[in-house]
Amino acid sequence: MDEILGKGLNGQIAVVRDRVSKTDHALKTVMLALFNPNEIRAWVSLEGCSQFPNLYMFNKIDGKIELHHEILKKAVTLADVINDRMGKLREYPSLLHHFSLYVLHGLLEASSTMHSKKWLHDDIHEENVMLQPQQDPSDSPLRLRMIDFGRVKNLKEDRVVNDIQGIIRIFTSVYLTEKFNDVYDLQKNWETKLDKHSDDFNLSYDHKQELLALVKLALDVTLTKEEEDLKRIVSKKLKDSREEAPEILEDIAKLIFPENFPDENMDVTDGPCVQEINYDIFAVGK
């Protein structure tokens, strides 16, 4: 029985092992009738971009498309982070503030990378973003990775509204647990709801005003140029926060992934089951 990593829009993802190399990777299987050819086109064009898992190979077999890709080791969805791993983090306003900006910036990095290659993800939500703890001492304590290109489409006239609205809803969900019912709810009620939640969560005046200003800016983003401007603003805020507390991201990682720090004090101040198989495949780039 394969270890099931998750389910995408149109397919299931499992861990498999190649008999020759003895290495594990992820396998996503999609029925041909449900397959979006742009999924492969976009994924190949994003090869080497760190914001996404690497696509290794793909194959058409028995009415299905098989996509072989990188396993994001120890990663969890942002939905899991928000629902199950942020209780302690919310006790520290400065850490919550920094982590929320970190997520917003990471999402903008990923989306702007896709948009620069003329792709619209069109399905950005908490289940399609993974947070990965440090895998190597030289890595950042956390990495944000965007997944599932099952609905990807060609970007037309540099219009990025759909992706930006998805990003806003994740940002406010991380910060204040408010992800809005739908896009209409976001557009109509964002200020009223965020104002109330900011008070409920005892955000400082400065953090509340910053949040409202960022969401207003983001809602005005329609084109790739405006997206880049927003990303620069968030990057500056994140840099300023990091300069005040250089170890802040590591402190956040300890609270979200305590299992990765079993020998450390968690007080913070302000063998998968796999199946061996062989494949005749089309290697990416060949």
283: Cβ–Cβ under 8 A, 6 or more apart, which residues? Answer: 56, 57
Q: Is residue 268 part of a domain?
A: no
pLDDT band for position 89 (cuts 50, 70, 90): very high
What's the half-sphere exposure (Cβ side, CA atoms, 13 Å) at 244? 10
Q: Is residue 265 part of a domain?
A: no
Domain shared by 21 and 87, yes or no: no
pLDDT the model gives residue 248: 97
Domain shared by 49 and 174, yes or no: no
Cα 6–Cα 11–Cα 14 angle in degrees, nearest 5: 45
Q: Which amino acid is at 49?
A: C
Domain shared by 112 and 138, yes or no: yes
Checking if the pLDDT of 168 tops 60, the result is yes
Q: Which domain holds residue 18?
A: 4-73+274-283
Domain shared by 81 and 223, yes or no: yes
Q: Compute the Cα dihedral for 247, 248, 249, 250 and give only its sign.
A: positive
Q: Is residue 147 part of a domain?
A: yes
pLDDT the model gives residue 184: 97
Q: Is residue 269 part of a domain?
A: no
What's the half-sphere exposure (Cβ side, CA atoms, 13 Å) at 107? 29
pLDDT the model gives residue 18: 73
Domain shared by 33 and 61, yes or no: yes
Question: 242: closest CA among 93, 98, 97?
Answer: 98
What CA–CA distance (Å, rounded) separates 77 from 80? 5
Q: Is residue 140 part of a domain?
A: yes
What CA–CA distance (Å, rounded) separates 60 from 63? 7
pLDDT tens readout for residues 207-226: 999 999 999 999 999 999 99
Instruction: Using CB atoms within 10 Å of the CB of residue 29, give its burial: 0 to 12 exposed, 13 to 18 middle, 19+ buried.
Output: middle
Q: Is residue 266 part of a domain?
A: no
Number of C-beta neighbours around residue 115 at 10 A: 22
